[in-house]
Amino acid sequence: MRSPQFNGETPPRIATPHFHSTLSVQKLRRFNTLILVFRLVAFCFSLSSVVFMLTNIHSDSANWAHFDAFRFVLAANGIVAVYSFVEMGVSVWEILKGNTLLPEAVQLWFDFGHDQGFAYLLLSANAAGTAVARTLREGDTCTVENAFCVQSYISIALGFGGFLFLGISSLISGFRVACYIITGSRSHLY
């Protein structure tokens, strides 16, 4: 059978946009909402850790600023709180607009790399803080200023909570990268 002709020419092919079912759009929105929740929780834990460490001044001898590891805990949690806050904004953008802020491949690799890097930063900072807190507990500082040590423990524990949720975000980001590599688009995640 001959194709229809228009004035002796075959009609031009019209590129049809890629079909997105309502179901896949809903799944993508739920997936992005899940990422937003984990980033929100990581932000809350990291910010709480910063607040607890910053307010951990009980005397001239018991001050968080006198210990390098506690300054590292404060800095790492502060960096992760800022990063998580920015990534929450990016997640909200993706949920509302249905596309990434940066080009898709760049955004996925950016999220994955930074999630992993900052999770390792938190882990190392809180591990260093734990070592100093244990040393202080064995010395005279925690017998004289028990509130200082308790508040240090709370700050470090909150930092480990931030690590946990940032680590889960890193796993989800890795899943998104793997799906993108396999399918060429994040819209085919499921």
Amino acid present at 39: R
Amino acid present at 20: H
* Confidence band, pLDDT 50/70/90 cuts, at residue 104: confident
Q: Which of 21-25, 61-65, 101-105 has the lowest mean pLDDT?
A: 21-25
Cα 94 from Cα 103, distance rounded (Å)? 12
pTM equals 0.78
pLDDT(146) > 50: yes
Domain ranges of the chain: 22-188
> For 171-178, what is the mean pLDDT?
90
pLDDT on residue 164 = 96
Contact 93, 141 (CB under 8 A): no
